[in-house]
């Protein structure tokens, strides 16, 4: 069975600084996708960034980028130039390829941004 592990329950960063959130996963599949979701207090899950396992290039979305290490099964999220609005719960998620969009989530990292 696939599992997703986030070992940092809480993180803190100063505004304008850079922070990295860690995620490891376990799977025997070769075709899969990895995601980072942001959950603010409104509870709505917002997709931050997505990585296809077959792509070697790390995904980037503005201030958000990932470090995808397929052999190590590691998928960390880097937030550059942190902003107060980045404060939220961040979840790493896995989805195998094929006809399903079922996501397997980690337990989350609560990110605080200090002014």
Partner 1 sequence: GAGVSQSPSNKVTEKGKDVELRCDPISGHTALYWYRQRLGQGLEFLIYFQGNSAPDKSGLPSDRFSAERTGESVSTLTIQRTQQEDSAVYLCASSRTVMNTEAFFGQGTRLTVV
Residues at the interface with partner 1 (CB under 8 A) = 4, 6, 33, 42-47, 50, 91, 93, 95, 98-108
Of 10 and 17, nearer to partner 1 (C-beta) is 10
Residue with the two structure tokens 């979701």:
37
Residue 33 C-beta: closest distance to partner 1, Å: 5
Which sign, positive or negative, has the C-alpha torsion 64, 75, 113, 89?
positive
d(CA 64, CA 48): 8
Measured at the CA of 102, the angle between CA 101 and CA 104, to 5 degrees, comes to: 130
Of 28 and 100, nearer to partner 1 (C-beta) is 100
DSSP letter assigned to residue 57: S
Residue 30 C-beta: closest distance to partner 1, Å: 16
Of 1 and 72, nearer to partner 1 (C-beta) is 1
């Amino acid at each position: 069975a696939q599992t997703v592990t986030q070992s940092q329950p809480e993180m803190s960063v100063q505004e304008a600084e850079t922070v990295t959130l860690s995620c490891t996963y376990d799977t025997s599949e070769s075709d899969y996708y990895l995601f980072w979701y942001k959950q603010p207090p409104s509870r709505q899950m917002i997709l931050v960034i997505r990585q296809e396992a077959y792509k070697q290039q790390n995904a980037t979305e503005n201030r958000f980028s990932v470090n995808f290490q397929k052999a190590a099964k590691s998928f960390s999220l880097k937030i550059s130039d942190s902003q107060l609005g980045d404060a939220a719960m961040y979840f790493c998620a896995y989805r195998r390829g094929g006809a399903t969009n079922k996501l397997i989530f980690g337990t989350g990292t609560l990110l605080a941004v200090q002014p």
